[in-house]
Structure 1
Amino acid sequence: MMLELPSKRQIKMIRALAQLKNYRKRHGLFLVEGLRATEEALNSDYLVEFLVVSDDFLERHREKIKEYENIKVYEVPRKVYDTLSDTEAPQGIMAVVRMKNHELTSIYEDNFLIVALDGIKDPGNIGTIIRTADAAGASGILAGKGCVDIYNPKVVRSTMGSIFHLPVIEGVDLPVVLHELSQKRAKIVVTHLGAEKSYFDADLTGPVVLVFGSEAEGVSPEILKISTEVVKIPMPGKAESLNVAVAGGIVLFEAVRQRNHPFPL
């Protein structure tokens, strides 16, 4: 363990990474906060540049920190750490991690299950969908150009470490990529409140892309034209719609069920 005090420049950099999308993109770095998420980063194939810990966290977890051999660790007073964190009750540990550039071809495996996100701007929803897709064994995530930055600290926190488990590709021109995938015989399955067909009746086996749009606007008309199937989640209750992260989980695990129990001919 290499324990040091951060410079003023490094403190400024951490604050910028927490607050500024353009700064994150320009430097190819993002923040991960919390012990569990930090350990997920350290155990992944992402490059962890350094850790920042509060003095009280270090006092409680000194033996744990000693395990992080060859990782530079900066110690700061709790009051300073709290100014760097955007959480209400920070644990006292964060990591600065280098981004990875995933290629689209990395998720085109046999019988892929890809999740495509169109115009979803809520960080918690994006993060939860990434976590759910990870749990469902999805091949990867395509985040369209209108989506919130996936390296936003709130998104990263909501993934609970799943951002390190599967490729997440952002800034995707979804109509173009979905058209290409349809030419590869992938089924483009779009959820839409106005659909007539239930997702129970859709064949979600084989190469599939599940497309989810924002609650406010739904999936764009351009993507609807490309879709193989447009489906809805039956809602016998009085609610008009579902949170997109909840809807995504429902349809994803129907795909899991069908892939474990083949769709009847």
Structure 2
Amino acid sequence: MTFGEPSKRQINLVKALIRLKNYRKRQGLFVVEGLRATQEALNSDYAVEFIVLSDDFVKRYGEKFHGFGDVKVYEVPQKLYRTLSDTETPQGIMAVVRMKKFEIADLCTGNFLVVALDGIKDPGNMGTIIRTADAAGASGILAGKGCVDVYNPKVIRSTMGSIFHLPVMEEIDLQWALKELSIKGAKIVVTSLGGKRSYLDADYTSPVVIVFGSEAEGVSKEILNMPSEQVKIPIPGKAESLNVAVASGILLYEAARQRGALFPL
């Protein structure tokens, strides 16, 4: 199996997409790396512009992997591939993917469960929350202004392909979005250390938006001052708080349980 050779412009495009947020936004493109993530992209309704393989990957897997369809595939020397890759031990396969634009209406069909993120800065947390929301059957993600770029390579890697499974809206005016979802019938549940009720006492069975705040400061005062139900996760031990990605898993799986998504109630 032989593949084409990328142009210098395409090589520079990949380098810039991996390193520069503003360039990703202008081009409307992002990069996913690794065999699993590339397969997820190819199996999704996202448009894959082209794929880059290292010659080492081709030697090991080229004859076994035929899942590229009509997508253009380029082969580069392993040494060059390492200069493109954002990982320490690259698998040797990456894809350039076109971003998709989503609207509020894409997140709120049926009995929706939306995750809203206020000031999440850590790429690992962002990616893990997206992955957890996907696993729990959430309808979509709202990443407010001030959150880490959801197309950051570290975020994409942490989602383990979930970025392709549910709508993710980024750089959203969160106050506006929460008002819009409230108009559409959603209850707003906000996680807060100052919450008076346990998260277990909240009802997640009807349309709901669950808001999680930044790692350092939690949910902003502007969001806390909006009409909402504020809940907290009880901490019987000595830890001051929980990691936000862990907290998201706890609440989202309680919501999934109440909705009968795990076991019949």
TM-score by length of 1: 0.96
Q: Distance in 2 between matches of 1:124 and 1:227?
A: 30
Paired amino acid for 1:126: M
For structure 1, list consecutive stretches of 5 or more residues without a partner in the other structure. Answer: none
- Report matched runs for 1:147-186 at 5 Å: 147-186=147-186
- Post-superposition offset of 1:195: 1.2
Output the amino acid matched with 1:133.
A
The one-letter code sitting in structure 2 at the alignment partner of 1:16 is: A
**Alpha-carbon distance between aligned partners in 2 of 1:62 and 1:215, rounded to the nearest angstrom:** 42
CA distance in 1, matches of 2:168, 2:49: 20
Equivalent pairs, count? 261
CA 2–165 in structure 1, closer or farther in 2 if over 3 Å, else same: farther
Alignment root-mean-square deviation, CA: 1.2
Once residues 38 and 48 of structure 2 are traced to their aligned partners in structure 1, the CA distance between those partners, rounded to angstroms, is 9
Deviation at 1:2, TM superposition (A): 7.1
Q: Tell me whether 1:14 sits opposite 2:14 in the alignment.
A: yes
- For 1:64 and 1:138, how far apart are their aligned partners in 2? 35
Preserved contact between residue 39 and residue 67 of structure 2 (Cα < 8 Å): no
Q: Which amino acid aligns with 2:215?
A: E
* C-alpha separation in 2, matches of 1:194 and 1:228: 13
Deviations 1:59-99 (A, max 9, x none): 11112443323111111111111110111111000000000
Alpha-carbon distance in structure 2 between the residues aligned to 1:69 and 1:201: 49
Pairs within 5 Å for 1:1-265: 3-260=3-260
* Counterparts of 1:242 and 1:142, CA distance in 2: 21
SS at match of 2:209: strand
Partners of 1:2 and 1:14 in 2: CA distance: 21
Q: How far apart are 1:183 and its partner, in Å?
A: 2.5
Q: Give the Cα–Cα distance (whole angstroms) in 2 for the partners of residues 223 and 217 of structure 1.
A: 12
Q: TM-score, normalised by structure 2?
A: 0.96
Report if the CA contact (8 A) 2:21-2:152 is conserved.
yes
Q: Give, as a single letter, the amino acid of the residue that structure 2 aligns with 1:76.
A: V
Contact 1:188 1:226 (C-alpha < 8 Å) held by counterparts: no
Question: 1:184 Cα shift?
Answer: 2.6
